[in-house]
Amino acid sequence: MSWASPASWRNQGGLCLPTKPAEWGTAGTVPAVQEPPSDLVVVGAGAAGLFASLTAARQGARVTLVSARPLAETASYWAQGGLAAALAEDDSPALHLRDTLTAGRGLVRRPAAAVLCEEAPARFADLEALGVRFDADRHGDLALGLEGGHGVRRVVHAGGSATGRRILRQLSADVVEQERIEVLDGRRVRALLGDGRVHGVACDDGRVVCARAVILASGGAAALWSRTTNPPGSYGSGLLLARAAGAELADLEFVQFHPTAVVGIPGREGFLVSEAVRGEGATLHDAAGERFVDELQPRDAVARAIHRLLAQTGEASVFLDMTAIDPARFPNVVAALREAGHDPATRRVPVSPASHYAMGGITSDLHGRSTVPGLYAVGECACTGLHGANRLASNSLSECFVFGHRAALAALDEPAPGGTAAAPPDADLTPAPSRETREAMWRDAGLERSAGGLHRLHEDPHPLARLVAASALAREESRGAHARADFPATDPDLDGRHSVVAADAATPDLVKWT
């Protein structure tokens, strides 16, 4: 389904500066901003961007929401497993935090993870109040799923494995209804405006929008890798925009590989079979039919076990047995596989790992603030440090809502824009990766890396590929999602140390975050 945009989205009310390059002021400047028509620009209409926009609008703010791709091409829309929140009687934010810390392998920034775990139940309640209907059990109580790395059932779903789709349909309908939100869909932000303080964006159609602050909710970077579960637009464009505006990036070497993406079923290559399926009892088997891994371990451990087995055997896939699972629990997954001619109720599904989630991103604080005034980052493009070296399953949707909410409130305290803004650069700041770059990422910065491949990748033409290589080279240890074949042990001296790349640097410093 594409996100149909009503005619009102097309009006010009969101503009506060000249719309055509020919109208830029002399000497690379634009005229002073008198009365900014937007309080906030939000870049991206996935879970984080939609929720941030609605939060700000409900505070009475005027919001311009810019989105490059249709709703159905966001990672949020594709989310299957659900969102994690401590809602059960035998659960608590402290237990949720414990599991998040364990999965993050000594690199979780504890205050950020604590915020997530404490506030996720309230944001879940917000979603229910907005009209999202989460799945109930046969007694009418909220059905809570178990996923790898969670010690307690705490993952809520909507429509079985259609969680992202259900939530985004509701949020986008609310955005359409909200008069204070102007949606510019089908437009890509090509530069952030400002000098030392960000107060606007320039779009690829020449349009410019100014505001008190810009919230980047532009998604992750997992599609930089050739084998991925992500939509093609998730190649980290927001990270490059932020870097060009002077922001710090962090933890780029940490990219999670999902263990069970479909292999060799035509039309479904890379399609993700949710972790929740294993939580409900699906098992993994080698070509001889033997089980070889504890399926409920955190996903980096499961993914690496599969990767190593495949490297040893030369096989293309292992096999996920979901024949004992009720197909009604995962209607999306079952329907997608059946459409492709594969019935998971009777046959094991060939699967192998694929790049799935970027833990790293734009350094941001507990309110989504980047290191540049006026610029915020939330959702997968942000790095608060809450996931550490490995995201706990279903924490990312919760993160979108918790930090989307916080950032929207904080951003409204920024001063109104004034003075002149530098004209946006002509250069393309966010080039899409070529096929060669994506293959090089898979080969040289995949599930197991070593210095030789990373040095080669460091020469790649794509700027983000080079930064991932530099970050992975700097971390001479294995930890969570980052496995160095040449440094297989975890270095305790690097506990809590994040790889931080300053905007004017090509290589990271390993910095302790508190």
Ligand X SMILES: Cc1cc2nc3c(=O)[nH]c(=O)nc-3n(C[C@H](O)[C@H](O)[C@H](O)COP(=O)(O)OP(=O)(O)OC[C@H]3O[C@@H](n4cnc5c(N)ncnc54)[C@H](O)[C@@H]3O)c2cc1C
Which residues 214-233 are close enough to bind ligand X by CB under 6 A? 217-220, 229-230, 233
Instruction: Please choose, out of 1-9, 45-53, 277-285, 329-337, the segment that lies near ligand X by the rule CB under 6 A.
Output: 45-53
Residue 474, SS3 per DSSP: helix
| Alpha carbons 13 and 15: distance in angstroms, whole number | 6
Q: Is 236 in the site for ligand X (CB under 6 A)?
A: no
Q: Is 374 in the site for ligand X (CB under 6 A)?
A: no
The DSSP line for 228-247 is: BSS-TT-S-HHHHHHHHTT-
Q: Is 33 in the site for ligand X (CB under 6 A)?
A: no
Our CA dihedral for 322, 325, 326, 328, rounded to 10 degrees, sits at: -50
Burial of 323: CB neighbours in 10 Å, binned 0-12, 13-18, 19+? middle
Question: H-type helices in 387-450, by residue range?
Answer: 395-411, 435-444
Instruction: Please choose, out of 111-119, 136-144, 376-384, 491-499, the segment that lies near ligand X by the rule CB under 6 A.
Output: 376-384
Q: Of these, 14, 361, 379, 433, which contacts ligand X (CB under 6 A)?
A: 379
Residue 359, by phi and psi: left (phi above 0), alpha (psi -120 to 50) or beta?
alpha
Instruction: Please choose, out of 38-46, 109-117, 329-337, 495-503, the segment that lies near ligand X by the rule CB under 6 A.
Output: 38-46
By beta-carbon proximity to ligand X, the closer residue of 75 and 306 is 75
Q: Of these, 295, 300, 380, 414, which contacts ligand X (CB under 6 A)?
A: 380
| Alpha carbons 498 and 109: distance in angstroms, whole number | 9
CB of 282 to ligand X, least distance (A): 15
Mask 338-357, x = binds ligand X (CB under 6 A)? Answer: -------------------x
Q: Is 14 in the site for ligand X (CB under 6 A)?
A: no
Instruction: Please choose, out of 66-74, 100-108, 324-332, 441-449, the segment that lies near ligand X by the rule CB under 6 A.
Output: 66-74
Residue 348, SS3 per DSSP: coil
Please give the order of strands across the beta sheet that includes 497-501. Answer: 382-383, 361-363, 249-250, 497-501, 509-512
By beta-carbon proximity to ligand X, the closer residue of 61 and 120 is 120
Residue 248, by phi and psi: left (phi above 0), alpha (psi -120 to 50) or beta?
beta
Q: Active site includes 169?
A: no
- Report the alpha-carbon angle 61-234-107, nearest 5: 85
By beta-carbon proximity to ligand X, the closer residue of 368 and 446 is 368
Strands 283-285 and 318-321 turn out to be antiparallel
Cβ–Cβ under 8 Å, residues 453 and 444: yes
Which residue among 105, 169, 207, 299 is the active-site one? 299
Residue nearest to ligand X (CB): 46
Q: Where are the beta strands (DSSP E) in 36-141?
A: 40-43, 63-67, 83-84
Taking alpha carbons only, the member of 353, 347, 358, 299 closest to residue 320 is 347
CB of 45 to ligand X, least distance (A): 4
Helices and strands (H, E) in the chain, number of each type: 13, 20
Q: Is 368 in the site for ligand X (CB under 6 A)?
A: no
Q: Of these, 38, 55, 67, 352, which contacts ligand X (CB under 6 A)?
A: 67
Which residues 70-109 are close enough to bind ligand X by CB under 6 A? 74-76, 78-83
Which residues 160-219 are close enough to bind ligand X by CB under 6 A? 163-164, 188-189, 217-219
CB of 492 to ligand X, least distance (A): 29
Which tokens in the block code for residue 325?
Answer: 């699972």
CB of 201 to ligand X, least distance (A): 8
Which residues 392-421 are close enough to bind ligand X by CB under 6 A? 394-397, 400
CB of 97 to ligand X, least distance (A): 16
By beta-carbon proximity to ligand X, the closer residue of 384 and 478 is 384
Q: Of these, 17, 24, 33, 44, which contacts ligand X (CB under 6 A)?
A: 44
Binding residues for ligand X, rule CB under 6 A, total: 45
By beta-carbon proximity to ligand X, the closer residue of 39 and 73 is 73
By beta-carbon proximity to ligand X, the closer residue of 467 and 494 is 467
Taking alpha carbons only, the member of 359, 440, 354 closest to residue 393 is 359
| Alpha carbons 108 and 113: distance in angstroms, whole number | 7
Q: Is 332 in the site for ligand X (CB under 6 A)?
A: no
Q: Which residues are catalytic?
A: 299
Give the interface with ligand X as residue ranges (CB under 6 A).
43-49, 66-69, 74-76, 78-83, 163-164, 188-189, 217-220, 229-230, 233-234, 237-238, 272, 357, 379-381, 394-397, 400, 430
